[in-house]
Structure 1
Amino acid sequence: MQSLWMIVASFCFACMGMCVKLASETFSATEVVFYRAVISFAFMLAVVCFRGIPLKTPHWRFQMTRSICGFLGLVSFFNAISLLPLATAVTLNYTSPLFLAVLLACTGRILLRLSLLAALALGFVGVAWLLRPTFHADQLVGGLWGLGSGVLSAFAYYNVRELGELGETEERTVFYFSLFSTVGAALWMLLYEFHPVDLRGGLLLLGVGGFATVAQLAMTRAYKRGNTLVSASLAYTTVAFASLLGMVFWHEALTPNAWLAIGLIVSSGLISSWFSRANPADQD
């Protein structure tokens, strides 16, 4: 049951979100993205050097688009985590399969069947339902950040898909994404106050990068060696883990309506992933 590695990945992604939320008490989202990207870049640099993977690529346009969308999506996601309950932020980020299905349908890559339309409609009803309370809880900005992360991630997935079809290696794609995110976040940080890193902050930032790296490795193993549909289904256990961590560390309690909205989004995301055959293992 190699697909069970996805549960390990989901738990690590939820732990990464927990570290992001705790680190956001001291650092800006851009700073957290920078340190997360630096750790990933160092790891990927070691991988490409060890395996002797050439960095020259003829697919610069797709690499740049993927890197820009992925970087902005990561900033949006980390901002959402700092402003919303952890489970809500994670769920809004997981709307990416819905937007990816729409994008693939608009570009003629998949047929927009009635069943897919129904699934997408169900998902967007869940999004509206989940966002509705934010209008009354001063969390609208966080909700928009979360939804934006889902949209941007969908564009990143689309370009990863295109790169895969063009024969680009996964290692090179992740390397350029990590490099762009490191440079982009470093330049962005020049516009804002830089916060010194103490022991607690350093451990949290290390946790962000460490948990993200382990999660990526476990997720890639699940998709490559396990059943794709089972792995995609288990990926949504991240929402459950995030909810538990939110309750333990911040006493966050979601309402029955919020859980129903999350259920609609998860169900729609699974159906949309099935139609679009998206493989999130190539993301980030």
Structure 2
Amino acid sequence: MGAQVKALAPELDNTMLVFARNALGLSIILPIMLWRQGPDCLRTTNLRFHVVRGVVGVSAMYCYFFSLGGLALTEAVLLKLTSPFFIPLIAFLWLGERTSLWALMTIVLGFCGVVVLLQPGHAGMQDVLFVTAGVSGAVLGGTAKVAIRRMGTREPSARIVVYFGIVATTVSAPAALLNWEWPTLWQWLGLVSIAACATAAQMLITTAYRIAPAGRIGQFTYSSVVFAALLGWLIWSEPFTLNQAIGCVFIVGAGLLNMRR
């Protein structure tokens, strides 16, 4: 999904990408849910948490898509992978889930990787802006995942995804309409593909966060950096630089250490 967003970012406005990803994703999942369960699929007692999760989640998406447009694919994905470092802190403040000293140490280690990626003293203002957007997206994404955990195991994954689509589409529509340019056929195909990939991934991730402690799940997503590096090299001939390698060791290593602990 990230590679497809990066490919379309020079051609379509960020607001259009976010809106299309949510609106098309909703058009995929909502008919399936209505066909299988009828209107009862929307019956919920957690509406306020759905709204919080939707608003925070779409804000994270704006940040992530923006960073994809300005950073190498590997760097943008690595910054997104810092989200699990925030989850234990947010879960502690919101849900009262205990955070160990070991977890705090791995968070510090992970952010050493962010510093390496940022290259203080060498990065231009534009690079700093894209990196800041990436980290901000990680914070917001972590908050959205803890909101899923707050709903508990009685809220089905598909309903969570449907409500996210409804809230995110509604929130992102005004900005998209202000910047709307009619996509070409190939751009439409790309937008549909983005929505399909994102919806499938969201269903799987939502299921994981719904049934397991929030601070434990994110570590399993680190394999995505391998695919990001490979796609960046194949599509854009992006080299895997020394700074990216060191940042990867810190960020991924810290996450895996926390999981092992």
Alignment TM class, shorter chain as reference: 0.7 to 0.9
Preserved CA contact (<8 Å) 2:118 2:131: yes
Deviation of 1:84 after TM superposition, in Å, equals 0.5
The question of 1:40 aligning with 2:28 is answered no
Residue 142 of structure 2, aligned match among 140, 154, 157: 154
The residue that corresponds to 1:11 in the other structure is: none
CA distance in 1, matches of 2:66, 2:121: 15
Residue 231 of structure 2, aligned match among 245, 259, 270: 245
Preserved CA contact (<8 Å) 2:29 2:162: yes
- Give the secondary-structure state (helix, strand or coil) at the position aligned to 2:6: helix
Amino acid at match of 1:109: G
- Give the secondary-structure state (helix, strand or coil) at the position aligned to 1:88: helix
Q: Quick one: structure 1 residues 151 and 266, their matched pair in 2 at CA, closer, same or farther if it must change by over 3 Å?
A: same
The question of 1:262 aligning with 2:238 is answered no
The residue that corresponds to 2:16 in the other structure is: 31
Deviation by residue 1:9-59 (Cα, 9 ceiling, x = unmatched):
xxxxxxx11110111111111111111112211122123212214313222
The question of 1:204 aligning with 2:164 is answered no
Preserved CA contact (<8 Å) 1:123 1:264: yes
Deviation by residue 1:70-109 (Cα, 9 ceiling, x = unmatched):
1111111111100110111011111111011111233463
The question of 1:19 aligning with 2:7 is answered no
Equivalent pairs, count: 256
Please list, as runs of the form range in 1=range in 2, the aligned pairs for 1:96-111 lying within 5 A after superposition: 96-107=83-94, 109-111=96-98
Preserved CA contact (<8 Å) 1:126 1:265: yes
Preserved CA contact (<8 Å) 2:157 2:207: no
Q: Which sections of structure 2, spanning at least 5 residues, go unmatched?
A: none
Alignment RMSD, CA only? Answer: 2.8
Q: Which has the higher contact order (CA 8 A, sep 6+)?
A: 1
**TM-score w.r.t. length of structure 2:** 0.87
Preserved CA contact (<8 Å) 1:92 1:127: yes
Preserved CA contact (<8 Å) 1:73 1:149: yes
The question of 1:182 aligning with 2:147 is answered no
Q: Quick one: structure 1 residues 202 and 107, their matched pair in 2 at CA, closer, same or farther if it must change by over 3 Å?
A: closer
The residue that corresponds to 2:160 in the other structure is: 173
Deviation of 1:216 after TM superposition, in Å, equals 4.0
Q: Spell out structure 1 runs of 4+ moving beyond 6 A.
A: 220-224
Q: Quick one: structure 1 residues 44 and 103, their matched pair in 2 at CA, closer, same or farther if it must change by over 3 Å?
A: same
Preserved CA contact (<8 Å) 2:87 2:143: yes
State the identity as a percent: 30
Q: Which sections of structure 1, spanning at least 5 residues, go unmatched?
A: 1-15, 276-284
- Give the secondary-structure state (helix, strand or coil) at the position aligned to 2:42: coil
Q: Quick one: structure 1 residues 251 and 134, their matched pair in 2 at CA, closer, same or farther if it must change by over 3 Å?
A: farther
Q: Quick one: structure 1 residues 241 and 261, their matched pair in 2 at CA, closer, same or farther if it must change by over 3 Å?
A: same
Q: Quick one: structure 1 residues 272 and 47, their matched pair in 2 at CA, closer, same or farther if it must change by over 3 Å?
A: farther
Deviation by residue 1:178-198 (Cα, 9 ceiling, x = unmatched):
11111222112233x311111
